[in-house]
């Protein structure tokens, strides 16, 4: 069995105990307690993980962050955000503005039509899926005209619309 990890002496044991008690929220408390149990209790990562109902990998990550960066290493934020964005949200909005005006006028707009100008603006190749995700981020919906069969009898359809009865309104 692997021995317990060694915790770098960033703080004294008394200061470490106070630091654990002053955790602002549950997730911070859990991370700090993992450091405390490893340092004072001499527990292995799998034991700490079992006590805290978390994964062994998470405990190793927290120990590594604490050893490398000190107490500030555990105060990190989540991984949310736009890490691989080509454009900022404002730039995307500005790119879509002329297309929005066309869509409001009722012109059909497809992702294929946006694909070329977007690649030109970015200066690199992007997938068609990127265009769909861009449209989704800005609240665009996939709407299109109902499909028509090329041999559909338009005249009889129009006649049917004119002569069909309207549904009665029941109160």
Give, in order, the Cα–Cα distances in Å from 88 to each of 91, 99, 122, 141: 5, 18, 12, 21
- Whether 168 shows a pLDDT value over 70: the answer reads no
Q: What is the pLDDT of residues 44-89, one digit of tens each?
A: 888 889 999 999 999 898 888 888 888 888 887 667 777 778 999 8
This prediction's pTM: 0.47
Predicted confidence band at 6 (pLDDT cuts at 50, 70, 90)? confident
The runs of H, that is alpha helices, within 22-153 are 26-39, 45-52, 56-69, 89-104, 111-122, 128-137
Neighbours of 71 (CB within 10 A): 16
Tokens of 20: 């654990």
Residues 6+ apart with CB under 8 A from 73: 65, 66, 67
CA angle (27 as vertex; 26, 31 as ends), nearest 5: 115
Please compute the mean of the pLDDT values over residues 5-18 and round it to a whole number. 84
Query: What is the distance between the alpha carbons of residues 51 and 36, in angstroms, rounded to a whole number?
Result: 12
Kindly tell me if the per-residue pLDDT of 28 is higher than 80.
yes
**What pLDDT, on the 0 to 100 scale, is given for residue 1?**
63
110-163 pLDDT per residue, tens: 889 999 999 999 999 999 999 999 999 998 887 666 777 888 888 888 888 788
Residue pair 109/97 in contact by the 8 Å Cβ criterion? no
The CA angle 62-63-66, to the nearest 5 degrees, is 85
What does the chain come to in residues? 171
Q: What is the pLDDT of residue 131?
A: 93
Nearest to 128 by CA among 148, 150, 112: 112
* Lookup result for tokens 């909005």: 93
Instruction: Give, rounded to a whole angstrom, the gap between the first and last alpha carbons of the chain.
Output: 76
pLDDT band at 10 (very low <50, low <70, confident <90, very high): confident
For residue 132, give the DSSP letter: H
């Amino acid at each position: 069995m692997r021995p317990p990890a060694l915790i770098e002496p960033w703080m004294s044991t008394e200061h470490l105990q106070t630091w654990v008690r002053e955790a602002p929220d549950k997730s911070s408390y859990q991370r700090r307690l993992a450091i405390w149990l490893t340092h004072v209790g001499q527990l292995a990562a799998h034991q700490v993980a079992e006590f805290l109902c978390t994964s062994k990998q998470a405990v190793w990550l927290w120990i590594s962050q604490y050893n490398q960066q000190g107490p500030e290493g555990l105060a990190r934020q989540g991984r949310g955000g736009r890490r691989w964005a080509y454009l900022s949200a404002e730039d995307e909005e500005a790119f879509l503005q002329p297309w929005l005006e066309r869509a409001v006028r009722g012109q059909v707009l497809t992702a294929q039509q946006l694909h070329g100008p977007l690649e030109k603006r970015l200066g690199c190749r992007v997938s068609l899926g990127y265009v769909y995700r861009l449209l989704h981020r800005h609240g665009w919906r996939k709407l299109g005209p109902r499909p028509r069969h090329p041999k559909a009898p338009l005249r009889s359809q129009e006649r049917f619309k004119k002569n069909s009865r309207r549904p009665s309104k029941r109160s």
